[in-house]
Amino acid sequence: MSSTRPKLVIGDVNERNVLVSDNGLVALIDCDSYQIQNGTQIYPCEVGVAFYTPPELQGQPFHGITRTTNHDLFGLAVLIFHLLFMGKHPFAVRFLGQGEMPLERSIREYRFPYGKEALIQQVQPPLHSLPLEVLSPQLASFFERAFAQGSHIFGSRPSAADWFNGLKSFISTLRPCSNDRGHLIPSHRTTCPWHDLMKQGGPNLFVSVSFSRIITTSSFNLAIIWARIEKVPRPQKTYSRPALPQGKSPLPWPQNLTSVFPLKPIKPTILTNPPAPPPPKLPPQKYAKTVLPVEPKQKS
């Protein structure tokens, strides 16, 4: 047994192996698939999820591969992207080229749709997605380092400590939105990114947060809330016939068009006078039937 401390690599990084409690306690499960290195002895991790596997390992069998910390940092960056971009995968794309672009291929070819090379790689983010510029420049550069070409080089992807410090700094710059108490705005933005998303047809992703904050405050007043609901304009149910432009007059009713229409629908002719069915087509008889005459009995 070596006296040095064993080196641990998770290897199979995915969202199902991380549990978070209501008070923020994080627990890792499924620990029997970790890679452990003790001196020269390596106990490999031979399983993985393709959506969290880095480009340099996509499509390769996990058997016989020695995982590195840099491989783990790709999966960590994917998990953080999920949290910041409302569950979207960083390599889910709208492909502008020919054919399909499945997620595994997008990862393997480094087609990060939020990055600087997105248009060159013919990809765009999915509809109703936040742009990368919503984050602080530091966090945006972290995602570029984690997902761009060359990120497979050891030490290129941001470490867990980098993410911790960057996220902590970013959270300290958030300010509440004056129009929606469920929205927070980064300090480097002049407008609310969530309202910008709604103007493009996206949903209000934090409507439940807004209601819960209103209800839990002491200033909650049902009459005020109901008055706000009543101010929502109702749909127009009456139809107003558009006025004719000046100098225009309606054309007279055509003479060859009847002005009296039947109140009841006319049954189709095929129902009132159905056609006779065609005679059956029987196969030809193999042998013709003939009637033989009955010979009279001979008298003895």
**Positions marked catalytic:** 12
- At residue 185, φ and ψ (nearest 5 deg) are -120, 130
The Cα–Cα gap between 103 and 93 comes to 8
CB atoms closer than 10 angstroms to residue 40? 6
DSSP-assigned beta bridge partners for residue 184? 176
The Cα–Cα gap between 226 and 120 comes to 51
DSSP 92-105: --EE-SSS---HHH
The Cα–Cα gap between 84 and 193 comes to 13
The Cα–Cα gap between 80 and 92 comes to 15
CB atoms closer than 10 angstroms to residue 139? 21
Helix (H, G, I), strand (E, B) or coil at 222: helix
**Six-digit token pair at 93?**
């794309």
Dihedral over alpha carbons 33, 38, 39, 42 (to 10 degrees): -20
Token pair 């055509």 in the structure block, residue: 254
Residue among 62, 79, 4, 15 at smallest CA distance from 37: 4
